[in-house]
Every structure is written in structure tokens, then in C-alpha cells.
Chain A
């Protein structure tokens, strides 16, 4: 998350997947693959990050 500047728009789109550290920058809350039921939300987080800091790999 090198280019994360703490917009928190990822956590708004997918609160199950993204959280915040004590500086307000994003943290990933789940280890490994994103469960199928959260994939839509995670994709929305990717699409809403103004810094394009989130890249979900296949």
C-alpha cells in the first residue's frame, strides 16, 4: 500500500476487507484470498481508491 494516503474510501466500500492503522492508512484485515462473497465489495474498494493504491490480483 505504498501510495495509500488514508482516504478510507476502501474501508467505506468494504469494511470487512479494509481497516485503518493508527495513522489512518489502510490495512488489509483478511489474510490470503478474498472470500467469494466479499469479492464484489473488494472490487468496489479497488475502484474507489483515489490513489489507485489497491490492486486485487486474480
Chain B
């Protein structure tokens, strides 16, 4: 496919988050914008958006939920004729909800993701990582993104939702259709439709055949103020688990593998010092924060000197914020025992990632299990690594040898 996009004139006034070199490595671009006179860039591409890059601005935006609403959270507007919200007709509460409903939308799922609650997925995650490694360990080579990282979160989520692993390929395809290939409007529409249809059938099934220890059954039986929650909410949460829980975590695991393949000194540090893991995982999440979210401006306002209009889209570039030298010393360096690390890979404010404890567990177990079995490995060819970017950034192919 030839690239027909027009060349970027200036990052400050014409950035293009889907431009291939920006997808592969957005950090120099973020830095150029951040250190310019105008650290909040603007583009007319994809119907227009603003791009703040300083930590302070990104956090301020995330906190101001009344002005910067979650009516639209994708970096590109939906296809013509579809409503805003992650999936138009079917939302993805609580991520697409605004107060007052946001509160109960979030409250209901928080217990599912509390540290104590996600701990029970540790062994299962480790087992599935080992099973994946069994497939390629004798070959001496593997794609750390496509053969490993990609399969981990989707299987964890399938377990949580009580659907068989053989849905893996479809789930992955749908999520990519919505999040990574959103400029392909036909694919986005089709993917959205598939998700709705699939979970509608699952919900119907659980109504007839309720299961024990099953999230969908539990949600169907949940009451708020004496009334069962609406079906749309249950569907929305299933939808959310796919869009929020798969691409994001797989991208984080992939980036971590890519990093470790190139840094034997970090592998050694982690092997020799068990106490390093908690800060190391936070540091890797800071540097390789995969997720950028969008907001829709509620009313005309001036934000840090920028004249924003009602309906404008603003990107919350958490990956840019996490490398702001005003907030982090040597921001581009990975320091596994970094002490001061107020990173915002999981966002900030009322929408901040509800699944972060699960995400951390998956990233840690994925890396620990790999390092136990394959302590030494390296990239086959740094130039052949391919990336996804835009809203979710991470490697999609990353060949390593060992």
C-alpha cells in the first residue's frame, strides 16, 4: 500500500499521529513540541485536534472532567452516521461515561480489579505464558510480540469473561479494527458490529444458563438502587474489557520485551535483585506508556493560551507527559530503581485505569516467566521491528533469537 498522506509541514501545526515514522517512534516529535514555544500543538488532520505534551498540562486536562468530557475518547471521530462513544450505539462504561453516571459505572467494576482480586489470576497467567514459550523455546527464535505478548492479555480477559480461548483471533482482530485501524472506517464499523453481536449472544446465554464465578452472570444480577443494571451496561463492560484490556497490555508487554532484548544489563539487574521488580515495572510503564486518550471540549475556553472551542478534540498524550524533563530526571533513560516516579501511564483523575493492578500483574508475570526460561536473548534485526501507534503504541512484530 502506498502512503498517500501529505507530508507533515510542522509538528506544531500539522502533526499526524498516524504517520509511519511517528507511529514507530513518537518520542522525538513529542519532545520537539514540548520544548517549543507552543507545547500544545494543533492539527487539522482527522477533523482536528490539540496535542498537549507537558506533564502538567496533560494532568490538568485529565483532572478537569467537566470541561474535557469523555463523550469521545478515540483520537478520530466515528464514521459518519455513528454516534460518539467508543462504539457509538454501545458505549464502554465507565471509560465513555461522564458524571454523574460515571460514578456507579466505575464503582461496580472496581472490586473485580482490586489488587487482592486480581492476585488469583497470577498462576493462570504464568501457566499460559509457559505454554506459549513451550511452543517456540526449541526453535531458538520467536516473535516476542506476535508469538508471545499478543496472546497473553486476550487469554486473561477471555478467562475473566468466561469465553473460550478459541475466540482469541476474532477478539484481537476486532480490537485492532477499532483501536489501531480507526482510519479505516469500514473496518472500524464492522469490528464494532461483531463485538456487539458476540456479547449480545453471550448475555442471552448467561440469562438462560447462569454460571458460578462468572463476570457476565454477576453483572446481570447486579442491582443499583433496587433495579437490575440495564443490559446495555453489561454489554458495555464486556466491550470495555476488550478495548481497554487487550491492545493496551499487549503493547506494554511487547515494548518491555523489545527493551529487554536490547539491555542485558537490565536483565541481569532483575535476575539478581528480586526487590527491584515493583519499581522496575513502574519505570517500564512510564517509559513505554502505550495509551493516548482523547477528550471532547464541552465549551469554548482558553487552555494555557490556546483558544479551544466546544466540540474540539484534545489528545491526552500520557506517553509524552511521562517523558517531560520538568517532571522526570533523565526522562528517556530507563532507571529500574527510579524512586520518584509519578507517572501517568494509567491516566489521572476520575477515569484513571481501573484495570491497572491486572495490567501490572500481566506485565510482570510475562517478563518474569520469559526471563526464567530464556535469560539471554537479542533482537534478530532492530530494523525489522514493526509498530502500531496512534492511540495505542507497541511493537507488532519483534523477532528475537536465543
Name A residues whose Cβ lies closer than 8 Å to a Cβ of B: 5-9, 11-12, 20-24, 44, 47-51
Contacts of A48 in B (CB 8 A): 340-342
Contacts of B115 in A (CB 8 A): 8, 11, 20, 24
- Any A CB within 8 A of the CB of B110: yes
Taking a contact as CB atoms under 8 Å apart, the answer to whether B340 and A21 are in contact is: no
Among all A-B residue pairs, the 7 with the closest Cβ atoms: A24-B114, A23-B110, A5-B352, A12-B278, A20-B115, A47-B340, A50-B342
Name B residues whose Cβ lies closer than 8 Å to a Cβ of A: 59, 107, 110-111, 113-117, 278-279, 282, 339-344, 346, 348-350, 352, 354, 356-357
Contacts of B113 in A (CB 8 A): 24
Main SS of chain B's interface residues? Answer: helix
Taking a contact as CB atoms under 8 Å apart, the answer to whether A50 and B344 are in contact is: yes
Bound complex: CA A11 to CA B282 (Å): 12
Taking a contact as CB atoms under 8 Å apart, the answer to whether B110 and A6 are in contact is: yes
Taking a contact as CB atoms under 8 Å apart, the answer to whether A24 and B110 are in contact is: yes
Contacts of B341 in A (CB 8 A): 9, 48
B229 CB, min distance to chain A CBs, angstroms: 17
Bound complex: CA A19 to CA B115 (Å): 9
Task: Name A12's closest neighbour in chain B (CB-CB).
Answer: B278
Bound complex: CA A20 to CA B110 (Å): 12
Taking a contact as CB atoms under 8 Å apart, the answer to whether B114 and A21 are in contact is: yes
Most buried by B among A11, A22, A50, A51: A50
Bound complex: CA A48 to CA B116 (Å): 21
Bound complex: CA A12 to CA B357 (Å): 11
Bound complex: CA A47 to CA B339 (Å): 9
Contacts of B117 in A (CB 8 A): 22
Taking a contact as CB atoms under 8 Å apart, the answer to whether A47 and B342 are in contact is: yes
Task: Name A40's closest neighbour in chain B (CB-CB).
Answer: B339
